[in-house]
Amino acid sequence: MPRGRKSAASLSVVPVVPGQGRPDPPAGLDSLEKRIWQDVVSALPPNWLDLAGQLILRRLVAQAAISERREARLRQLRAEGKDDGDAAAELAAMHGVSSKTVAYLLGQLRATPRSRIVSRAAGPQFEQASKWRPWEIKARA
More confident residue, 16 or 109: 109
Q: Would you say residue 2 lies in a domain? A: no
Q: Would you say residue 89 lies in a domain? A: yes
Tally of domains within the chain: 1
Output the CA angle 74-62-72, nearest 5 degrees: 15
CA–CA distances in Å: residue 118 to residues 44, 100, 122, 123, 138: 18, 22, 6, 6, 28
Predicted confidence (pLDDT) per residue in 65-84, tens digit: 999 999 999 999 999 999 88
Evaluate if pTM is beyond 0.75. Answer: no
Q: Would you say residue 11 lies in a domain? A: no
Give the domain extent around 74: 21-140
Q: Would you say residue 55 lies in a domain? A: yes
Q: Would you say residue 1 lies in a domain? A: no
Q: Compute the distance between CA of residue 43 and CA of residue 1 in angstroms, rounded to an integer.
A: 39
Q: Would you say residue 107 lies in a domain? A: yes
Predicted confidence (pLDDT) per residue in 92-108, tens digit: 999 999 999 999 999 99
